[in-house]
Amino acid sequence: MPLHPQLADVTQKIVDRSKDSRAAYLAKIARAAKDGPRRAHLNCGNQAHAYAAMGDDKSTLLQERAPNIGIITAYNDMLSAHQPFEAYPEQIKQAARALGATAQVAAGVPAMCDGVTQGQAGMELSLFSRDTIALAAAIGLSHNTFDAAVFLGVCDKIVPGLVIAAATFGHLPSVFLPAGPMPSGISNDEKTDVRKRFADGLCDRDELMAAEMASYHGPGTCTFYGTANSNQMLMEFMGLHLPGASFVPPASDLRGALTKQGTAQVLSNTALGSNFIPTAKILDEKAWVNGIVGLMATGGSTNLVLHIPAMARAAGVILEPQDFADISQIVPLLAKVYPNGLADVNHFHAAGGLPYLIDQLLHAGLLHEDVMTIMGQGLHNFTRQAVLTEDAVGYISAPKKSLNEKILRPVNDPFQASGGLQNLTGNLGNAVVKISAVAEDKRFIEAPAAVFHSQDAVKKAFQSGDLNRDVIVVVRYQGPAANGMPELHNLTPFLAILQDRGHKVALVTDGRMSGASGKVPAAIHLSPEAADGGPIALIEDGDMLRLDAVAGRLETMAENWQARSPAKPDLNDNESGMGRELFSVFRRTAGAASQGAGVVI
């Protein structure tokens, strides 16, 4: 089917808007690529240092005829999604060696778990870790001894930071190798129910701990469809993963074969071969549009509305909030995965997963097929499912019918006609709301404001009964400049309880919510933020606010509110402790949330 005209129009607007920046980026990449294999330009002393610990691979490296892979790993064993990466470097080295090539770990980058830091001071470093990861990866690749890069990362800020680095070193071919999800634990509904009962004082900490440990119980990605798994979707829709690789479990034979095949694929894409595919060639305007389509069709994490513009800017592509809104209008919601439904990503993958989705959207004219990927030209390469055939990766066509229409539906029978995210505009600024998990009768909320400057203050108001009413909770001074824009996921149980009591409830904030947040409408990423003089700083308790997720409006109906002086809370506590003092330069220089809240891009 021909490309949907509105998708073509959005893409052309992005191309026109990005003309100068994309041209400058490609010119920079061309200069870096024209010098040929990196190691040829190092002097003997440089090379001796680079190869000193390489053992039997030294002779291959010295010949400079075979490609050398730089591995950027985000391994640590505190983060369950990244624990499987411990074994990957040796697997990659063995796979490269078998093909006459070499591989080295170029750098380890930090990988923080938002699940550990939710509600803690460390969460204020979470968003800034994205740019820190990009910087750390750049330091590793700056040794200039590599012909290709393999990126090992999964979770929230890690993949975006690695993509920024991959784009910056876009003259190198690259591949992203995921680790896969942990096995399914207790149902997400059961976990959520225990959290709400604990917040309401109806169960003790031992029961809560047992439920949490049964949910997060082994190596691999958390199985809900939050930011980590949205990242995996994005990499597949944009052609940076192997087809069908995102949700294959850790330690399976197929996962090991995919790691080996990914190594072989990136080696075949280097300038030393006949099929040179630098990363810059993949990360064009159409690829980013495809990524946004995937986000909308799956009801993915709102965090990607922050990250995608920052990643795209690193490749010279300029995205605006309206691009997301325009794409959301035409892309149907085809997946129901928690928090949008009862299923997890393992169930989603079994129902047909990403290959089925990509096939459906391509045939509906809702994806660009004519894109470059690590597999070569064409997104059709990603309508195939990876299978294990004699210890190697084989491919079969994606199923033509969903294997479970409670989880995954065809384009002609979607869960809803438009995408899972909605852009909000109005006299309070620009924000985004995730509507895929919000019931239709909860998408319009008009209620008085209750204004807070911290999650803890909201919790105390809930416990005292002050919020037991129709209310729009406003939590401000939570943006990048104020305190690093932490996720406010700890508010979810309290707001959900109020909603369950029959109250009209919503959240408005210049901060973020977790990709796991769901049924309460939340206008997040409000920009400009309070610390930059945004209108949210003028809201007072009792002001009537309106959040209309259907029409895409967010506004105050208070009279003469613009004549007020902005609230100026004491933010000194945000300046130190848990390393926050080291990131003051980030808070002072971070961009607006609507542009990705970038520091280095």
Task: Read off the pLDDT of residues 119-131 as tens digits, 9 standing for 90 and up.
Answer: 899 999 999 999 9
Q: What is the pLDDT of residue 34?
A: 85
Question: Which tens digit of pLDDT belongs to each residue from 290-326?
Answer: 999 999 999 999 999 999 999 999 999 999 999 999 9
Cα angle for residues 344, 348, 354 (degrees, 5° grid) = 135
**Averaged pLDDT for residues 58-63:** 86
What pLDDT is attached to residue 288?
98
pLDDT band at 102 (very low <50, low <70, confident <90, very high): very high
Q: What is each CA distance from 280 to 70, 116, 240, 374, 470, in whole angstroms? A: 17, 34, 11, 11, 50
Element (H, E) at 309: helix 303-314
8 A C-beta contact, residue 519 and residue 195: no
Nearest Cα neighbor of 173 from 292, 302, 300, 33 is 33
- On the question of pLDDT at 515 being above 60, the answer is no
Low-confidence winner among 214-223, 333-342, 510-519 (lowest mean pLDDT): 510-519
Do the Cβ atoms of 121 and 575 come closer than 8 Å?
Answer: no
Question: According to the model, what pLDDT value does residue 148 have?
Answer: 97
| The predicted structure's pLDDT at residue 36 | 63
Which is higher by pLDDT, 514 or 549? 549
- Crossing angle between the packed helical segments 455-464 and 492-500, to the nearest 10 degrees: 30
- Is 183's pLDDT higher than 90? no
What does the angle CA 342 – CA 495 – CA 414 come to, to the nearest 5 degrees? 35
DSSP string of 452-509?
ESSHHHHHHHHHHTTT-SSEEEEE-S-SHHHH---B-GGGHHHHHHHHHTT--EEEEE
Question: Beta 471-475 vs 505-509: how paired, if at all?
Answer: parallel
Do 275 and 353 meet the contact criterion of CB atoms below 8 Å apart? no
Give the confidence band of 47 by pLDDT, cuts at 50, 70, 90: confident
Distance CA 40, CA 379 (A): 34
- Confidence band for 550, pLDDT divided at 50, 70 and 90: very high
Predicted local distance difference test score (pLDDT) of residue 465:
96
pLDDT of residue 206: 85
- pLDDT band (50, 70, 90) for residue 517: low
Q: What is the 3-state composition of the chain as percent helix, strand, coil, each rounded to the nearest 5? A: 45, 15, 40
Each residue's pLDDT tens digit, 254-273: 999 999 999 999 999 999 88
When pLDDT is cut at 50, 70 and 90, the band that residue 433 belongs to is very high
Q: Are 151 and 245 in contact (CB under 8 A)?
A: no
Collapsing DSSP to helix, strand or coil, 432 comes out as: strand
Phi-psi map region of 569: left, alpha, beta (phi>0 left; psi -120 to 50 alpha): beta
d(CA 126, CA 10): 31
Q: Would you tell me how many other CB atoms lie within 10 Å of the CB of residue 456?
A: 11
- pLDDT in the model for residue 472: 98
SS3 assignment for 181-210: ECCCCCCHHHHHHHHHHHHCCCCCHHHHHH
pLDDT at 578 (0 to 100):
94
Q: Quote the distance between the C-alpha of residue 70 and its chain's center.
A: 23
Strand-strand pairing, 102-108 and 68-73: parallel
417 C-beta neighbours (distance < 10 Å), count:
10
Handedness of CA 99, 101, 102, 103 (dihedral sign): negative
> What is the structure's pLDDT at 195?
78
Measured in Å, how far apart are the chain's first and last C-alpha atoms? 37
Mean per-residue pLDDT for 158-176?
Answer: 98
* Residue 136: strand, helix, or coil: helix
Residue 24 confidence class, pLDDT cut points 50, 70, 90: very high
**Residue that is written with structure tokens 């938002």 in the block:** 114
Average pLDDT on 421-432 reads 94
Query: What is residue 274's predicted lDDT score, i.e. its pLDDT?
Result: 81
Does the structure show a pLDDT above 80 at 37? no
Q: CA 91, CA 104: separation in Å to the nearest integer?
A: 11
Say what the pLDDT of residue 333 is. Answer: 96
Centre a 10 Å sphere on the Cβ of residue 380 and count the other Cβ atoms it contains: 16
Tell me the domains of the chain and their CATH numbers: 5-183+218-397 (no CATH), 187-216 (no CATH), 421-595 (3.50.30.80)
pLDDT value at residue 213: 76
Contact 355, 244 (CB under 8 A): yes
Residues of the chain with pLDDT > 90, as a percent, come to: 80
For residue 144, what pLDDT is reported?
92
Per DSSP, the three-state class of 151 is: strand
What is the rounded CA–CA span in Å between residue 582 and residue 509?
25
**Is 64 in contact with 56 (CB distance < 8 Å)?**
no
